[in-house]
Structure 1
Amino acid sequence: MRALLINAGLFFFVMIIGYSSVLGIKWVMSEPMVVKGDFSLHREASSKKVLFYGTDWCPICEKTRTYFKARKVDYDELNPEKDEQVMTNYLLTESKGYPVIIIGNTMIYGFNVDEVESALKENGLI
């Protein structure tokens, strides 16, 4: 009986982990969300029109940096892991990951070239 309970517990544990993984992959593979609004709170630390929340270890953040540098876009990167106030502001974005890009009145969750270019053009930055 004890072995049956242990096996049943392991089965449910594996099922929960597996389902969570599927949800995580679904979120990562989905299109980034784009939100329009007033993001002036996030600009308190920067006067630049383009900023993004990112980390040193995030490969998508590195793609974002490379993209901005290649197009000579003037931006500020805010790293929530290095500054407590930045972390407080990042948490207000309700993001599940990095990067979170703010261009003018557009917030983009994740990195999508079409969305970023559209926001840059809308703000006269490219």
Structure 2
Amino acid sequence: MSTPRITLYTARNCPHCKRAKQYFQHRGLRFQEFDVEQNARAQKAFARFGARGVPVILVGDIRIDGFDRQRLDALLNGTDDA
């Protein structure tokens, strides 16, 4: 099973964003990060999601609001039914 594309929408001083990045780095997974405070395109995408906070994590087409280690483990291990 190949790893799906991982995208993170973050903010600089967000502790949950930092934990999410560390999670992916620890697992050796590549991800694309967009800072919603610094990047206008990221702000627009974030607004389209209707998100209320960061991080917003996209694993393939699946969106996770917040850092949810158990859900991420399930998705990346292929055991999530979403």
TM-score, normalised via structure 1 length: 0.57
Structure 2 partner of 1:80: 36
Give distance in 2, aligned partners of 1:95 and 1:86.
12
Number of aligned residue pairs: 75
Query: Aligned-pair distance for 1:95?
Result: 1.1
The gaps in structure 2 that reach 5 residues or longer are none
Structure 2 partner of 1:91: 47
Structure 1 consecutive aligned stretches of length 4 or more whose deviation exceeds 4 Å: none
CA contact under 8 A between 1:104 and 1:119: conserved in structure 2? no
Letter in 2 for 1:65: K
Identity of aligned residues (%): 24
Match of 1:54 among 1, 7, 10: 10
TM-score, normalised via structure 2 length: 0.85
The gaps in structure 1 that reach 5 residues or longer are 1-47
Give distance in 2, aligned partners of 1:74 and 1:57.
21
Greater helix share, 1 or 2? 1
CA contact under 8 A between 2:6 and 2:59: conserved in structure 1? yes
Structure 1 partner of 2:75: 119
**Cα RMSD for the two superposed structures:** 1.2
Query: Aligned-pair distance for 1:121?
Result: 2.4
Say which structure, 1 or 2, has more relative contact order (CA 8 Å, 6+ apart).
Answer: 2
Letter in 2 for 1:96: R
Greater strand share, 1 or 2? 2
